Every structure is written in C-alpha cells, then in structure tokens.
Amino acid sequence: MNAPSDFSHRPRPLRLAVIALISLLLFSLFCALGVWQIHRRAWKLDLIARVDSRVHQRPVQAPLRPQWPTVKAAADEYLPVRASGTFLYDKQTLVQAVTDYGSGYWVLTPLQRGDGELVMVNRGFVLPEWRKQTNTEPSSGPADVVGLMRMDEPKGAFLRHNEPAIDFWYTRDLQGIAAKRGLGPVAPYFIDMQTGPGAQSDPKAGPVPGLTRVRFPNNHLSYLITWFAMAAMTLVGAFLLWRDEWRRGSRIKK
C-alpha cells in the first residue's frame, strides 16, 4: 500500500517544521521591509528639512569651475543660484518628463558663461506639440538665469535607460548629454530655472519654468507600521496554526 501523498496525512513533526519555516521567512521579510521604511523615512525627513532650509534663500552666484569639485548634493542641492551667459539653443536636449501638464519634455539647454564655462539649464517643460513648431527659440543673446541647483542624474529611471545613440533621454545625465553634443566639460550640476516676470505659461508655446518639486510626500511612517503589523500578524497566525496542528496530532495519538 502506497503512503498517502495528501499534505494533511504527513507526519505531524514535518508539518510543524514547514509551518515554522514559512512563518520565519515571512516574519523576516516583513521586518526587513519595516526596517527599510525606517531608513527611507529618515532620508525623506532629511531631504524635506534640507529643501525647506534652502529654497527661500537669496540666490547666490552659481559655482564656477574651480568650485565644481566641492559641489555636493547634501550641501548644495536646491540652493537658489544665478548665472549669466548665452544659451546655445542648437545644443539643447529634450528629456522625457511627466508633470501636471501631462507627458512631455524638460528642455535642457547649455548656458555659456562669460569665461567660456558651460552650465546646463533646465529651461522648463514643454508638450510634444512644441517640438513640431519651427522657429521656437528666441535669438541668441545675453541671458540671466535664476533657479535651483540640481545634481547630475547619470542613472536611468526604473526599467528605463538613457539611449544616447538615438538621442533618447529619461534622466538629466549631464555628462552623457555633453558627450553626445560634443560640448566638452560641463558643470556637475544643472539649474532648474524658476518662473519670473514674462515667463512662459503655455507648454505648447515654449518651456514653462518653475516646476521643480519642492514638496515631497512622506508616507513612510504608515508603511513601516503596516510592515511591522504584518510581521506581528505572521507570528500570531503561526502560533494558531502550530497550536491547531499540535492538538490534531494529540487527538490522532489518542
């Protein structure tokens, strides 16, 4: 006679071991996710504090080339800066973006400063219709830019990667874009141009500036509570299953 294959007829010690193993794995997973959310919450709170402490300051001169090596995200990102120069419209790049206006592009344009240094400027957001227009750019001339300092974005988005060969960009990869455009060295930061008098407000007609996100949702506390609650529920469920299996085994012995 063959041994029964149904799980309910397996020896009780084996079933208890399986329940314990699965419960331990789930408990460990939920705890790990909870700890991860603790770190994410600390990072988000630090980001919010840094941004709030900087975005309302008076603009300072954007770092010049001798200062580039000292530019760091933790100390400088979202700092209001200003720069003057001439836009190189023929070297600008469109980067995939989604805003409240819909899907479109950031317009990333090199600004050549008086000393020849190049700083990328995110001039704002446009819709795809703007690309189809001709003579969309003003004539080159002196430009004064005020905006927030942002850091290079060399990595692609989740499951999306920049494709320089076909000039397709998901992130503002400054060095990659500069290499594609043959620009040479560019600043390790870009300037998110802010809105001002006479700024464009129609993304079909031109770049709309001032769309930098400076308010960040922080739901990590609720997430970490959820994960740790699920870890606790796993222990409770494992205890109940273990108890029922133990009682069932005791009845079988009798």
Q: What is the model's pLDDT at position 229?
A: 94
Confidence of residue 103 (pLDDT cuts 50, 70, 90): very high
B/e letters for 38-64, b = 16+ CB within 10 Å, e = fewer, are eeebeebeebeebbeebeeeebeebbe
What global pTM score does this model have?
0.73
Q: Domain extents for the chain?
A: 12-46+218-253, 57-193
Mean pLDDT of 232-252: 78
Q: What is the model's pLDDT at position 158?
A: 64
Q: What is the model's pLDDT at position 233?
A: 93
Query: Which residues are CB-neighbours of 161 under 8 A, at least 6 positions away?
Result: 170
**Mean predicted lDDT score pLDDT of the chain:** 86
- Rounded CA gap, 193 and 210, in Å? 6
